[in-house]
Amino acid sequence: MGVSEPKTLFVAPLSKPDAGSVGKTGTWRHEKPVIDEEKCVKCLLCWLYCPEDTILRREDDMVYVDYDYCKGCGICAQVCPVDAIKMVPER
Amino acid sequence: MPVKTLTGNKAVAYAARLARVKVVSAYPITPQTTIVETLASMIEHGEMDAKMIRVESEHSALAAALGAASAGVRAFTATSSHGLLYMHEVVWWTAGARVPLVMAIVTRAIGPPWNIHVDHQDIWDQRDSGWLISIAESNQEVFDLTVQAFRISEDERVYLPMMVGLDGFILSHTVAPVDMPEQHEIDEWLPERKQPYVITPETQYVMGNLATDEDYYMMRYSIQAAMEAAKDVIKEVDKSFGENFGRSYGGLVERYRVEDAKYHVIVAGSWAGDAKEAVNILRDEGYPVGLLRVRFFRPWPTEDIVDVVGSSKGVITFDRSVSFGARGHLFMETISSLGPLAGKLSVRGVIAGLGGVDVPAEEFAMVIREFIDEVEREGQVYDPAYWHLPSQYRDMYPSRVEEVVR
Amino acid sequence: MPIKLKDLPRIRYNMPGNAACPGCPETMGMRYVKMALGDNVVMVIPAGCSSVIQGINPKSGMNFPILNIVFAAAASAAAGMKAAFEELGRDDVQVVVWAGDGGTGDIGFQALSGAAERNDDIIYICVDNEAYMNTGIQRSSLTPYGAWTTTTWTGKTEHKKNIPLIMIAHDVPYVATASVGYPQDFIEKLRKAASIRGFKYVHLHAPCPVGWRFDPGLTPHVAQLAVKTGLWPLFEYERGKFRVSSFSRMYRKPEKRAPIEEYLKLQGRYKGAGPEVVKELESYVNRLWEWIELLEKSMSPSTTAKKLVSKT
């Protein structure tokens, strides 16, 4: 398609998908989810319902938290069927 | 090159076809309707390779055209008056997106009361939006400007959408000979579509999410830079069009009998024809008067104005619109471009022809003659808002509204 | 085909570090769109929470290319994009509108109705959080009866406008309701929508912890309760056939439905709502299901077949 570089100073409202569009949102958190790997049955419900994409899956589908961005909403703890996720106050 | 007898609206439609527009979206409004009808007919009958989106409003018409253009094709729409006002929000959004696009504006008065006749209130209302705004005098120029609009809008120095204005009924519904180049000639002259970006699964571009206030400011600065750059582009395109097709108009303005002129008329749109005739009448009478026809309202031809009327003895503008509570648009723009020079010459801002009131050449001549005589008699004249009333009201009301109030 | 979570690839479906509030149903829903439709998508988003959620230029917090557009024009901008892709020989690209309840049922309704009537080949998703949340919780025509908003301080006095039924009346090829509480159901419906040519409408119920005043951890739970109370029935309308989705089927019978009080008591927007609100909502649910029964009877796969037979 006919995309051609602008030749006059060009500042347009264009963005690309990327993490951290408002920064490290982990700082918003009051409580953080802590996963008990012993209890986890790898059902992936926390991964499915996490609104932020901050529950991540290892190769074996054990889950872990991206604390840089996790906002601490607590959905993962709520949907966990085996109580493997606890919300722990941030200090 | 075949010469056809066409209405202005047909000229617009044929120009869009020759420019190989791929998506047309439009909604009917008098006097624009025959543009949509013609395009729909050509597309349905396989005479034009494009998709037609028969939208449910003008707001949607421009939004669909913007969507199509941002995905990478030449898109076109046309409207008038209330349709243009209804899409006003999208007018701004389109310019801000920096997506090249062309829209024809068949100029028409704004209600109430309902009035389908020509004035320039609708098109000048878009002046701050970041669109290039042009206005034609003749059906031939309507055709030429529409073709040129794609090349100007898609120039890498510009990347802004462009409006082509044509006066309702006077041009839109009146037939005149139009010399139309063949498809292969247009193809050779008009490059493939260019644009600064496309929104596709591959590019992953996101247009229009929040920006910092500082970046927002710079985006506005960038639009202004493109407007400035567009001045050269418009002149180049006008020249190149002339070299290829034999018609050049002078760039942002057309200069008519200005060489030895001491007085200048400034006017835009189809009634420039009548104003030119008035200039001829006055020249025959010995008045040293010339005319500047504004072809582009945005970018405003500051340099041309200064060049031509900077050393003028007197300038008279004819506005077919008014900014209520202030002056006519051409008047305000002219004075603001002259800067300190404005204080040295005489000026009269005439407001006439609103809602389609006819101003024949003799009336133009009368108003211009009166102005020149007054300047010669009294020295300097400063008269920013002179209402040239319809003839049946002329003896009943003063030409300066201030006098009604006092 | 049922969705197996383990089969869904380990990619970023959404970009973290965006501006969504904790527990946001819109970012949840947006992830499911990516899970369902993959990468060959361009998104059109009118004004609303999702325009802010993307965050600040030059980054965007949603993992899609997006044309952000003015509030009232989402469906028409999408129609334009689709027309362009068709002209470019790219029928494969899915053009998806992601609009809120206001952008769908109020200010954007004219454009939506126009695109539906033209049968433009797009997927229109209404992400319904039942008020103008982005401007600070003002009522929309999709706010339910009795709900507090900042423009209905004593509770809304009208019922929720039923956009999905209005879209069925447009006779488009596909209409479905979904809920962020049932992601697999939503994903399946989106995949079906993607396989159909023409206008597809999917209405996603999206409980908002900020606007509805509940704990952000409860978003999926509240969404599921809306389905279990019968207030938000999940169904599909596909080429003249109407079907209640499996998660909602049992709530045809009023006695199987969860008590509405259970749903209301979790939400601050119903604080102080008396028994008359419950009664009014119960009668709304009953009327809603009467509609559904009518549609099911007149447009079930078997009756459609019978009609075809009797015509011949």
Residue range B253-405 in CATH 3.40.50.920: yes
Contact at CB, B201 and C93, closer than 8 angstroms:
yes
Question: How many CB atoms are located within 10 Å of the residue B5 CB?
Answer: 10
What pLDDT does C3 receive? 86
Contacts of C21 in chain A (CB under 8 A): 71
Contact (CB<8Å) B196/A15: no
pLDDT band at C2; cut points 50, 70, 90: confident
Residue C303 pLDDT grade (very low, low, confident, very high; cuts 50, 70, 90)? low
Interchain CB distance below 8 Å, B72 and C84: yes
Nearest to B209 among A5, A6, A15 (CB): A15
pLDDT digits (tens, 9 = 90+) for C218-246: 999 999 999 999 999 999 999 999 999 99
pLDDT above 50: residue C312? no
The CATH superfamily holding the domain C11-311 is: Thiamin diphosphate (ThDP)-binding fold, Pyr/PP domains (3.40.50.970)
Ordered structural domains, chain A, with CATH? 41-89 (3.30.70.20)
A6 part of contact set with chain B, CB < 8 Å: yes
Cis peptide before C173 (omega within 30 of 0): no
The phi-psi region of residue C137 (left if phi > 0; otherwise alpha if psi is between -120 and 50; otherwise beta) is: left
- Interchain contact, A2 vs B225, CB within 8 Å: no
Distance from the C158 Cα atom to the nearest Cα atom in chain A, whole angstroms: 31
Is the Cβ of A15 closer than 8 Å to some Cβ of chain B? yes
Residue B392 near chain C (CB below 8 Å):
no
Q: Which of B97, B158, B198 sits opposite A3 (nearest CB)?
A: B198
Nearest to B199 among C19, C42, C87 (CB): C42
Domain ranges of chain B: 3-245, 253-405
Model pLDDT for residues C87-118, shown as the tens digit of each residue: 999 999 999 999 999 999 999 999 999 999 99
pLDDT at C302: 64
- Residue C300: pLDDT band (50, 70, 90) is confident
Region C291-296: mean pLDDT is 94
Q: Say yes or no: do domains B3-245 and B253-405 share a fold.
A: yes
> Taking CB atoms and an 8 Å limit, are A21 and C19 in contact across chains?
yes
Q: State the average pLDDT for chain A.
A: 97
The whole-chain average pLDDT of chain C stands at 95
Q: Indicate if the pLDDT at residue C33 is higher than 50.
A: yes
Distance CA B326, CA B322 (A): 7
Residues of chain B with confidence (pLDDT) below 50:
none
Contact C80 B25 (CB under 8 A): yes
Q: Which residue of A has its CA nearest to C218?
A: A75
pLDDT digits (tens, 9 = 90+) for C49-66: 999 999 999 999 999 999
- Contact state of C80 with B71 under an 8 Å Cβ cutoff: yes
Residues facing B318 on adjacent strands? B350
Residue of A nearest to B158 (CA): A8
Contacts of C58 in chain A (CB under 8 A): 14-16
- Segment B5-51, tens digit of pLDDT: 999 999 999 999 999 999 999 999 999 999 999 999 999 999 999 99
B196 touches chain A (CB under 8 A): yes
Q: What is the ipTM of this complex?
A: 0.96
Pick the CATH number of B3-245 from 2.40.30.10, 1.10.490.20, 3.40.50.300, 3.40.50.970: 3.40.50.970
pTM: 0.96
Specify the pLDDT at position C233: 98
Q: B394 Cβ partners below 8 Å, 6+ apart?
A: none
As a whole number, mean pLDDT of residues A1-26 equals 96
Spatial distance between the Cα atoms of B206 and B148, rounded to a whole number of angstroms = 29
What pLDDT does residue A1 have?
60
Q: Does the structure show a pLDDT above 90 at C39?
A: yes
Closest CA to A52 of B205, C12, C59: C12
What is d(CA B248, CA B251) in angstroms, rounded to the nearest whole number? 8
Does a cis peptide bond (omega within 30 degrees of 0) precede residue C58? yes
CB-closest option in A2, A7, A9 to B192: A2
Across the interface, do B200 and C73 touch by the CB < 8 Å criterion? no
Q: Residue ranges of the domains in chain C?
A: 11-311
Whole-angstrom distance, CA of residue C128 vs CA of residue B98: 31
Would you state the pLDDT for residue C47?
A: 98
Interface test with C, best of B23, B59, B60 (most C CBs within 10 A): B60
A13 contacts B97? CB cut-off 8 A:
yes
Distance of residue B199 Cα from the nearest chain C Cα, in angstroms? 6
Q: How confident is the model at residue C307 (pLDDT cuts 50, 70, 90)?
A: low
Predicted confidence band of residue A91 (pLDDT cuts 50, 70, 90): confident
- The average pLDDT across C16-39 equals 98
